[in-house]
Amino acid sequence: MAKTPRFTAQGTTTDADGSGEEPQKHPVDQGMPPLKLFTTGLQHVAAMYAGVVAPPLVIGAAVGLSVTELTFLTGASLFMAGIATLLQTLGVWKIGARLPFVNGVTFATVAPMLAINKSEGPEDALPVIFGATMVAAAIGFVVAPFFSKLVRFFPPVVTGSVITLIGISLMPVAFNWAQGGNDKDPDYGDFNNIGMAGLTLLIVLLLRRFTSGFLKQIAVLLGLLVGTLIAIPVGITDFTALKEADVVGFPTPFHFGAPQFAVAAIISMCVVMLVSMTESTADMLALGEIVDRPADEKTIAAGLRADTAGSFVSPFFNGFMCSAFAQNIGLVAMTRIRSRFVVAAGGGILIVMGLCPIAAALIASVPQPVLGGAGVVLFGSVAASGIQTLQKAGLDKDNNVLIVGTSLAVGVIPIAAPEFYHAFPESAKIILDSGISTGCVTAVLLNLVFNHVGRGRRDEETVTHPMEPGEGIPHQKVASANS
């Protein structure tokens, strides 16, 4: 009779009888052939490239950098994204979740960095931003183990809601890419752009449906490649960056000046760090569910240390705050390739791109509409994973339906009504404009109120776990209580 392997907390397996013979590695810890490792890692880079380069491009333009300096700043962000990704996937000491987790510049920092530029002026903006990032990251590294204890407040009803929100919140990114990526462009949203996005989506779906094995696993990468080739005669592919890029370049430490430390900027970045840690916690829980290695308190603490350590080192090489990239969770969910070494290979590719601007320019040549078509599949897969998690949450109970419904509603406010919080202070909008953060906080608080607080007084309700919903109050007992 065949034995059913069971994974242990260490990632190996034991036989069903507990003999522990011939332990197997968890899929997260399994390696892959070099070619497959490279192509699947490149697929992760293609999925997150636009998100990495967007913040430096926005900030660089705001402070008035030249094209050369802007290229340098973008290369620095790619280089540090690779370093942070290796730190997260491979790990050092108690740093790194050791999950297939991509790290890069978080877009949550853009608004406060623009505010710092406005208050400090273009000449001092980058040094002040770098100094504030270093202080916020150091504080985040210290509080990471305490912050990770919040994991007990994330049962399936919470994690499912948050995972679903991650997917929904990323959809506008895909739709923006599909229209061209720049709403000031006269061709934004025209037929060619949306048509290319739709064609790329169709190519990815057909590859997923009619191929198998390795080709099926790299369907997104192939879709991006084919879509880019088709986009050339359509006229929406721009190879200008490729022509102007240098072959070799290195992010010189403190290229824009030594870090400066301004109290207001530090406070602002500390708030962003807390938001980033909240989102990273939610992302780790989501990824843990998808790869069948639930993220426990120890894993989350190690992952947050990697985020904050990467963010601390980043300013030395002219980079910004680093955090988890939710869009790559969708790629893991869709391809079912769970090996963390695949993402580590992607981290290596990012480092090469940071040191070789011409390589970065090659990836940058993928048109935004093509990325948008692939993004629909990737981000939709995240939302679908959240719905799968919610199936374990006991939605036959009214309390859990209220938790899910309310947290999703609060989380989609920044998407459905972008100006909803326009009258709030800028510091508050840093948090409120992140649907993932507000939805996560809402789900945690409502879970506490409905499924935890006062449960000792509801002796008729069975609670199987301190933070999980009970089985509900039997009708006959309710009737007797009301009589």
User: In this structure, which amino acid lies at residue 422?
Assistant: H
**Do 287 and 100 touch, CB atoms closer than 8 A?**
yes
Q: Which pLDDT score, from 0 to 100, does residue 138 have?
A: 94
* Alpha-carbon torsion, ordered 342, 345, 347, 349, to 10 deg: -130
DSSP class of residue 465? S
Within-domain flag for 444 = yes
CA distances from 88 to 299, 311, 332 (A): 11, 12, 16
CA distances from 406 to 141, 170, 281, 409, 442 (A): 32, 19, 20, 5, 8
Q: Which pLDDT score, from 0 to 100, does residue 454 have?
A: 65
Average the pLDDT over 296-301 and give the result: 87
pLDDT tens-digit series, residues 309-368: 999 999 999 888 888 877 677 778 777 888 889 889 999 998 988 888 776 667 667 788
Q: Which pLDDT score, from 0 to 100, does residue 200 have?
A: 92
Within-domain flag for 9 = no
Q: In the chain, count of helices (H) and strands (E)? A: 20, 4
Cα gap 79→385, rounded to integer Å: 30
Angle 67-89/340-355 helices, nearest 10 degrees? Answer: 160
* Tokens describing residue 273: 């760090």
Q: Which pLDDT score, from 0 to 100, does residue 58 have?
A: 67
Q: Which pLDDT score, from 0 to 100, does residue 199 have?
A: 94
Q: Which pLDDT score, from 0 to 100, does residue 107 have?
A: 67
Within-domain flag for 437 = yes
Within-domain flag for 479 = no
Average the pLDDT over 100-108 and give the result: 79
User: Whole-structure pTM over 0.95, yes or no?
Assistant: no
Within-domain flag for 469 = no
Q: Which domain holds residue 232?
A: 25-453
Cα gap 64→76, rounded to integer Å: 17
Q: Is 453 exposed, middle or buried (0-12, 13-18, 19+ CB in 10 A)?
A: exposed
The residue behind tokens 């960056």 is 241
Average the pLDDT over 399-404 and give the result: 90
Choose the weakest-confidence range: 108-122, 262-276, 284-298.
Answer: 108-122
Whether 412 has a pLDDT exceeding 70, the answer reads yes
Within-domain flag for 210 = yes
Choose the weakest-confidence range: 148-162, 174-188, 395-409.
Answer: 148-162
Whether 213 has a pLDDT exceeding 80, the answer reads no
Q: Which pLDDT score, from 0 to 100, does residue 461 have?
A: 44
pLDDT tens-digit series, residues 54-83: 678 667 767 877 766 777 888 888 899 999
Cα gap 379→176, rounded to integer Å: 13
Cα gap 295→255, rounded to integer Å: 38
Whether 480 has a pLDDT exceeding 70, the answer reads no
Q: Which of 236, 232, 208, 212 lies closest to 221, judged by CA?
A: 208
* Tokens describing residue 111: 């608004």
Choose the weakest-confidence range: 121-125, 205-209, 259-263.
Answer: 121-125
Q: Which of 167, 110, 53 lies closest to 429, judged by CA?
A: 110
Within-domain flag for 265 = yes
| Counted domains in the chain | 1
Mean pLDDT over all residues of the chain?
78
Q: Give Cβ neighbours of residue 141 (< 8 Å, ≥ 6 apart).
A: 305, 308, 309, 312
* Alpha-carbon torsion, ordered 327, 329, 333, 334, to 10 deg: 30
Within-domain flag for 283 = yes
Neighbours of 3 (CB within 10 A): 13
Q: Report residue 139's pLDDT band, with 50, 70 and 90 as the boundaries.
A: very high
